[in-house]
A = this chain, B = another copy of it.
Amino acid sequence: MVSYDVTSIGEGGIRLSSPLGHRIQRARTFGIQIAGTEANVLCALGCLNWNTSWFSALPDSALGRRVEFQYKGFGVDLSHVKRVPGARIGTYYVEYSKPPLPTKVMFDRANTAFCNMTVDDIDWDALLDTRLLLLSGLTLPLSPTVRKILEVANEKAHAAGVPVAFDVNYRHNLWEVEEAAKVVRPFIEQADILFCKRDDVNLLVKTVADEDEGLEALREISQASWIVMSNGAKGAEGLIDGKRMHEDAAPVEILDRLGAGDGLAAGVLHSWLNGNAEDCLKYGVNVAGLALSHYGEQVTITVDELDSLVKNPHSSLER
């Protein structure tokens, strides 16, 4: 019997945003959100009553504790988070916009407590004491030592028979396509559950003409039994235990564009943990829709509410 349902390693940071319709150049207040792709998934799963654990490093500071307060509220176990006195925290600035201007994300995340973590900072036995290890490609370019941690974690998990979920999650402003393609390749190959954006297939795997070819390209190189390809507003595509699936995106009004991919992963993993292959994309697109229609990156939802969204058509008012 393992201690956790899902365990992950990643960075947590502070996300500051000006109110919609007000540019940062003239802003007087910032809203504070907590950012971190892996932890976003863990928080959503925590709401859904799964036991989750997050491995990371944070500064031993008010800002580091701000991140901890949030994740603990969602029930994520932080006993393996390293506190580093005097360290920096990753900081992100978001300027929400409506067309014609895009919503913009600016990073100030160099030299953080997390970037300076090394393999010696990880309690490997504790890390693998889980039903599933979640790794994200977004974390690979953050620093050489962090990349090493993920590579070792991937190896050790497979060696120990712990299934690995890998989300490709490529960000063009963090590294070049060529390097990324090379580095993420073994993670894709060995993943048990694989998440990859439609666009990232073209960039990192192989140029394909449509969704079917995209899934096929992933299937060719990956041993994953669950392959989920997110396709933005077009919804999600899947090869789940060899079965081709498609699910339209949930009807949604977007309040905060960030976090939809993490929501998709959370919904799919919730189904995986429940052994419910059939509805996994339905759960995925609904959690993604919740991420888009609420501020902040962590989805707040109960099992009953989520089941209700998956089973019933959308209603606008419940009273």
Chain A interfacial positions (CB closer than 8 Å to B): 16, 20-32, 61-63, 65-66, 69-70, 72-75, 88, 91, 93, 95, 97-106, 108, 110-111, 171, 173, 250-253, 255-258, 286, 289-290, 293-295, 300, 302, 305, 309, 314-319
Contact = CB atoms under 8 A, between A and B. Distances in A.
A316 B103 contact: yes
15 contacts: A23-B300, A25-B65, A25-B66, A28-B32, A69-B73, A72-B74, A97-B293, A99-B253, A99-B289, A100-B252, A102-B315, A105-B317, A111-B111, A257-B316, A258-B317
A70 B26 CA distance: 8
Given A101-B305, A103-B318, A95 B26 contact: no
Nearest to A253: B98
Given A23-B300, A100-B251, A104-B318, A30 B28 contact: no
Count of chain copies: 6
A93 B293 contact: no
B309 A22 contact: no
A177 to B, nearest CB: 16
